[in-house]
Amino acid sequence: MAPLVNEHASILQNRPVGPGLHLLQLHMPVIARQVQPGQFVHMRIPGREGHILRRPFSIYDSDPEAGTCEILYQAVGSLTSYLPSLQEGEVEAIGPVGRTWSALERFREGSATRALLVGGGVGAAPLHLLARRLSEARLPFDVVLGAQTRDALVCLPRYERLCAAAPACSTDDGSFGFAGFCTPLVEERLAKGCTADGNPYDYVAVCGPEPLMRIVCGQAEAAGAYCELSLEKRMACGVGACLSCVVETVHGKKRSCVDGPIFDSREVVWA
């Protein structure tokens, strides 16, 4: 794992892309070069006294040559509601933090042969860099995306460019794709197998609201697939020192920031 750096990242772009959703493009060459899929940055806005604690955001995409990273964020509280007003200047980002998805390593060693990526809402963001790397390595994978409405499926065009088969989509309001939650689409794919060859998936990665992740983990385990999830615990230090982000696992308490945020689904003890 690359050593953590604290980069002063200049804002190149920060624009709305969907309901409450924004795309932030930052120039942070060291992190852009080192980041692995699923890792995140722990970010603060210099000079904002009200935001003493940093906030964690997954790297949605990175361009190592240009030295840029993108973050897809949802306005939910004080920092993410203020952030859209920043059109220039810089943020401070510690990163890249956390473990990466094990998919690429599993493909390399032969324990994964087909992957299914499942993203709910803004949970599609930490899976996108994984989809990019799988696509570049020409490894077979499919994608299931769920969102509240069609407008909120902001990642879909990017996934469409990376995936051999069109991602399966659901919307809560039925405005696009399957009407309802995306779990029936996951069930169907786990039963039918990979779109390309009909062979069973042996690797599932999921990120999204906790109830969705719980269901998908159960579905993957029942289908005999190895499953990983990205947990979104609230964090303070983000570097393993404060224990504010501990998760109960079958191996005892683990720190979500540095021992996660990616966990083996069989390891997590759900509350």
Ligand X SMILES: Cc1cc2nc3c(=O)[nH]c(=O)nc-3n(C[C@H](O)[C@H](O)[C@H](O)COP(=O)(O)OP(=O)(O)OC[C@H]3O[C@@H](n4cnc5c(N)ncnc54)[C@H](O)[C@@H]3O)c2cc1C
Task: Select 108 or 253, whichever has its Cβ closest to ligand FES.
Answer: 253
173 vs 86: CA distance, rounded Å = 32
**CB burial class (10 A; 0-12, 13-18, 19+) of residue 7?**
buried
Q: What's the closest the beta carbon of residue 154 comes to ligand FES, in angstroms?
A: 28
The listed partner (ligand X, ligand FES, none) that binds 118, CB under 5 to 8 Å by sort, is: none
Q: Does 236 bind ligand FES (CB under 6 A)?
A: yes
Choose among ligand FES, ligand X, none what residue 78 binds, the Cβ cut-off being 5 to 8 Å by kind.
Answer: ligand X
| CB 73 within 8 Å of CB 57 | yes
Can you tell me which of 10, 148, 244, 249 binds ligand FES, judged by CB under 6 A?
244
Q: Judged by CB under 6 A, which of 29, 240, 264, 267 binds ligand FES?
A: 240
**Positions in the binding site for ligand X (CB under 6 A):** 40, 55-58, 71-74, 76-80, 122, 125, 232-235, 261
Could you say which of 177, 220, 255, 268 contacts ligand FES (CB under 6 A)?
A: 255
243 binds, among ligand X, ligand FES, none (CB under 5 to 8 A by kind): ligand FES
Which of residues 45 and 53 has its CB atom nearest to ligand FES in the complex?
53
Residue 9 bridge partners (DSSP): 91
Q: How far apart are CA 184 and CA 42, in angstroms?
A: 34
| Total residue count of the chain as it appears in this document | 271
Interacting residues with ligand FES (CB under 6 A)? 235-238, 240-245, 255-257
